[in-house]
Structure 1
Amino acid sequence: MKQQQKRLYAFTFAAFALVAALLLWSMLLKNLTAQVTVEKAETPEASAVSSSPVGVEPLVPVGSALPEPPTIPAAAQEQRHAPLMPSLHFAASSTSSMDQRREELLQWEIQEAYSLSIPSLSIRSPVFLPSRRYWDAREWDALERQMQVGLLYGLVAYPHSVRPGTKGTMVIAGHSSPPTDRARQSRYGQIFAALPTLHIGGQIILRTATDTVTYVVTETKVVPSGDTSILLSERDDESLLTLITCYPIGSTKERFVVMAKRME
């Protein structure tokens, strides 16, 4: 009898020990699971804090020195003026890499469209064509900036110009002297410096992807910087070309204008 009681006590003690061990392991597993969950929850927050510290401005990527094309306030749009001739006072960053050039031209909706050459002056340059966005919206300040970006890379046709060789007027502007540090670093900062020496009868050649059009100079003149009549010609009986640059060299006081018509 005593031996049976001892066995019963031993079995009972073993059962209690097993239950206690199971409870202990259960508590340990719960604590471990909770700790792992907390660590996982805290990790993204720590990463976010380290990658975006409070009060630190994000770095501006190289090649994005130019601002986005400006939106003219409604109040300013109500005070519309005549189209601006290039005043050549657009400030920008240092000389562009090819990547920055593509970015700027794309950002300002400018595409390389033609090439122009004046054999007698040894002038040859790409001609860029801006979109009509600012011209059609009559946002002259934004149009001015758009034109100035294009002038860093060559000559620029006004967006309302007709295509080379078609009836109407094509108006192309270019620098006669570099107005900014950035323009001074551009090979086109004084592309039209010799334009005032072009004589009547001289030839101007425009090339497209599919055609070559030759114009002959019929007139040259100097006009005030605010004279916009040369931009707004409505003649459609001939194929005409107008070239514009600042005059005298190094000044924006006036404009030297070359007028030409297509050579038949």
Structure 2
Amino acid sequence: MKKYVGNSLIGIGLLLFFIVSYGVLENEQNQNELMESFTSIKTEAASEKVYVGANSVEVQQLKESNSEVVGILKIPSIYLESPVLEGATPENLNRALGVITGLDEPGELNGSAAIAGHQSHIFGQFLNRLNELQIGDRFELETKMDTLRYEVFNIQIVKPENVDILERQKGISLLSLITCYPERSNKFRLVVQAKQVEN
């Protein structure tokens, strides 16, 4: 009987291991496909410039592209590189990070933009290490048109209904990174705020 129970537990453990491994591999493949898609979009963007005399004018349709990938968030201090999708819908947040709609475009002076993401419960994925960021840490948001650099200046834990934290702040381009807090709970939101910097 003990041997049967032991073998059953080993079998269940192996099954769970394979399920988790498959999920991790599938997630990585999905992330890679989204980032490759973004790279293709950026390449197309570079080739769709219209030159007028010495000035280059970006084609407006590029900004209005219906592509779902709008950028790649890179945070070296927590080893994060993840695609950012248009809209923080449940479907998007199961695949990557999502821009919260109804706010300003990232990089807009006196504007406020925000990116949301789940804590995926897999070390190093999505925003499950966001709590490790510290004031002064820097990161990048690569968009179709530019690479925007940010420096963290504020970290807060707030209630989900506290949306005032996303209000514009005069003189800066604000980007907020948001995830649920604490881990495996949606009682609060961890909000890491950064301002755009030149270098």
Query: How would you bin the TM-score normalised by the shorter chain?
Result: 0.5 to 0.7
Contact 1:169–1:236 (Cα < 8 Å) also in 2: no
Q: Distance in 2 between matches of 1:214 and 1:162?
A: 16
Confirm whether residue 252 of structure 1 aligns to residue 186 of structure 2: yes
- 1:229 partner SS: helix
- Structure 1 residue corresponding to 2:169, chosen from 213, 218, 235: 235
Q: Relative to total residues, which structure has the larger strand share, 1 or 2?
A: 2
Q: Distance in 2 between matches of 1:159 and 1:225?
A: 16
- 1:129 is matched with which residue? 86
Q: Distance in 2 between matches of 1:251 and 1:110?
A: 31
- 2:103 is matched with which residue? 161
- 2:3 is matched with which residue? none
Question: 1:112 is aligned with what amino acid?
Answer: V
Question: 1:201 is aligned with what amino acid?
Answer: G
Question: 1:222 is aligned with what amino acid?
Answer: I
CA offset digits 1:114-164 (Å, max 9, x no partner):
11010111001011113xxxxxxxxxxxxxxx6111112210011123222
1:172-211 alignment to 2 at 5 Å? Answer: 172-177=115-120, 190-211=125-146
1:89-168 alignment to 2 at 5 Å? Answer: 111-130=68-87, 147-167=89-109, 168=111
1:110 CA drift (Å): 7.5
Contact 2:158–2:189 (Cα < 8 Å) also in 1: yes
Contact 2:97–2:116 (Cα < 8 Å) also in 1: yes
- 1:210 partner SS: coil
Q: Distance in 1 between matches of 2:160 and 2:102?
A: 19
In the TM superposition, structure 1's runs of 4+ consecutive aligned residues that sit over 4 Å from their partners are 95-98
Contact 2:168–2:174 (Cα < 8 Å) also in 1: no
Contact 1:112–1:126 (Cα < 8 Å) also in 2: yes
Query: Judging changes above 3 Å, is the alpha-carbon distance between structure 1 residues 164 and 225 closer, same or farther for their aligned structure 2 residues?
Result: closer
**Structure 2 alignment gaps of length 5 or more:** 1-25, 35-65
Query: Judging changes above 3 Å, is the alpha-carbon distance between structure 1 residues 110 and 174 closer, same or farther for their aligned structure 2 residues?
Result: farther
Q: Distance in 1 between matches of 2:184 and 2:67?
A: 26
Q: Distance in 2 between matches of 1:115 and 1:161?
A: 18
**Structure 1 alignment gaps of length 5 or more:** 1-94, 103-108, 131-145, 179-183
Question: 1:158 is aligned with what amino acid?
Answer: I
- 1:149 partner SS: helix
Question: 1:165 is aligned with what amino acid?
Answer: G
- Between Structure 1 and Structure 2, how many residues are aligned? 138
Contact 1:110–1:150 (Cα < 8 Å) also in 2: no
Contact 1:177–1:249 (Cα < 8 Å) also in 2: no
Identical amino acids, percent of aligned pairs: 35
Question: 1:152 is aligned with what amino acid?
Answer: N
Q: Distance in 2 between matches of 1:161 and 1:127?
A: 15
Q: Normalising by structure 2, report the TM-score.
A: 0.61
1:236 CA drift (Å): 5.1
Q: Distance in 2 between matches of 1:236 and 1:153?
A: 33
Q: Which has the larger radius of gyration?
A: 1
Q: Normalising by structure 1, report the TM-score.
A: 0.47
- Structure 2 residue corresponding to 1:219, chosen from 154, 158, 162: 154
1:209 CA drift (Å): 1.8
- 2:106 partner SS: coil
1:191 CA drift (Å): 1.2
- 1:11 is matched with which residue? none
Question: C-alpha root-mean-square deviation of aligned residues, in Å?
Answer: 2.7
